[in-house]
Structure 1
Amino acid sequence: MTIGPARRAALARRSAPKVTDASPDDAELVELLEAAERVADHAGLRPWRTIALRGDARARLGAALVAASGFDGDAAAKLAAKPLRAPLLVAIVVRRTWHPKAADWEQDAAAAGVAHVLSLLLDEAGWGVMWRTGPHTRHPAVAEMHELAPNEQLLGWLYVGGRDGERAPRGPAKPPLFSSIG
């Protein structure tokens, strides 16, 4: 079997929990999204959208997370600072539309596919990226901060920035979770 570029990119991908202040601009992000949005999409609904959060938008997200949590003091300060870990957060939103052949779960899977392929493409382009979620991802305060419509839900954020030094080598591969029914 030959190893093509897609397999190489998947095997090389690493989550980057720490990134620098550099980030792709909107033009580069749109170019990568043109490829990421080629995921399987039953009925061609495009049940996703992405939102780039930069600058003060990250602080507003931190405030929304604190409002969702009910935390105060040090716990609130730590939670408010989390979106500031990267210069760019790409919010991944599922946009569900009723369709007789594309159930909600299929639309969720398509949106998650965009997030995953985008994370591979960002990694391959040299950016540090990590998909983050949390217990407040779907709280109304967080949805309001993202200006989500009633048919939309947040799946999480890709935290994106410059790579912080050399990437650690991956540990040994685990065997695939695979079975065959014949």
Structure 2
Amino acid sequence: MGSALEAALARRSASKVTDAAPDDAALLELLEAASRVADHASLRPWRVVALRGAARERLGAALAAAAGGEGDAAAKLAGKPLRAPLLLAVVAVTIPDHEKVPVWEQEASAAGVAHVLSLLLDEAGWGVMWRTGPFTRHPLVAEVHGLAANEHLLGWLYVGGLPDGRRTDRRSDPIAASRLTVLD
């Protein structure tokens, strides 16, 4: 296993994956590591919902219904969850009136879990892409995931095998210098 720096520099989203996917035991191991993200007051303000098989079809139906249920756009949405054998829905579980931790910080912690998990999946040799869309927080989509009133879907990690077992080309355009501001 390489360093965190090497893994971060090597990570790249995989838009196309095969039907292979990590099993629940492998997923739990990676999720345990991802759970170590910054978490003010140790709220653990997140959970992950794994969608496999027919659950992806139910999500597709909910996306299509959220879009109005008819036409090419709805049909296209219905097929999107079938692009990968495993979708990991990342859910922020928030406490709206917490005395120390505002909701935005709780959602940031959940987003941190999603990012670290995507990094770990990539390092383990899986293709992964974080996807969202206009219906991520639609009530029909929330219902498919069994979300409570204080839970908000942040998006899905689409996970599968890498075609031919190969990673896609890695990003080579350095951007850090254009995004860093130093104040003295």
For the aligned pair, the TM-score class normalised by the smaller chain equals over 0.9
Residues 1-182 of structure 1 mapped to structure 2, 5 A cutoff: 5-97=3-95, 98-165=97-164, 166=166, 167-176=168-177, 177-182=179-184
The separation in 2 between residues aligned to 1:30 and 1:66, in whole angstroms, is 31
Deviation (angstroms), 1:168: 1.6
Q: Give the whole-Å Cα distance in 1 for the aligned partners of 2:24 and 2:151.
A: 22
Q: What is the number of equivalent residue pairs in this alignment? A: 179
1:171 CA drift (Å): 3.0
**Which amino acid is the alignment partner of residue 99 of structure 1?**
H
Q: How far apart are 1:172 and its partner, in Å?
A: 2.1
Structure 2, gaps ≥5 residues long: none
The whole-number CA distance in structure 1 between the counterparts of 2:78 and 2:68 is 12
Give the whole-Å Cα distance in 1 for the aligned partners of 2:60 and 2:39: 32
Deviation at 1:105, TM superposition (A): 0.6
Q: TM-score, normalised by structure 2?
A: 0.94
Which amino acid is 2:156 matched to? W
Q: Deviations over 1:45-95 (max 9, x none)?
A: 000000000000000000000111114132222110000000000000000
Shift of 1:100: 1.0
Identity %: 69
Q: Partner amino acid for 1:40?
A: A
For residue 19 of structure 1, give the secondary structure of its aligned residue in structure 2.
Answer: coil
CA RMSD of aligned residues (A): 1.1
Alpha carbons 2:57, 2:82 under 8 Å: kept: yes
* C-alpha displacement of 1:181: 1.4
Instruction: Give, as a single letter, the amino acid of the residue that structure 2 aligns with 1:107.
Output: Q
Cα deviation digits, residues 19-47 of structure 1 (max 9, x gap): 00000001100000000000000000000
Q: How far, CA to CA, are the matches of 2:99 and 2:182 in structure 1?
A: 30
Kept in 1, the 8 Å contact 2:11–2:170? The answer is no
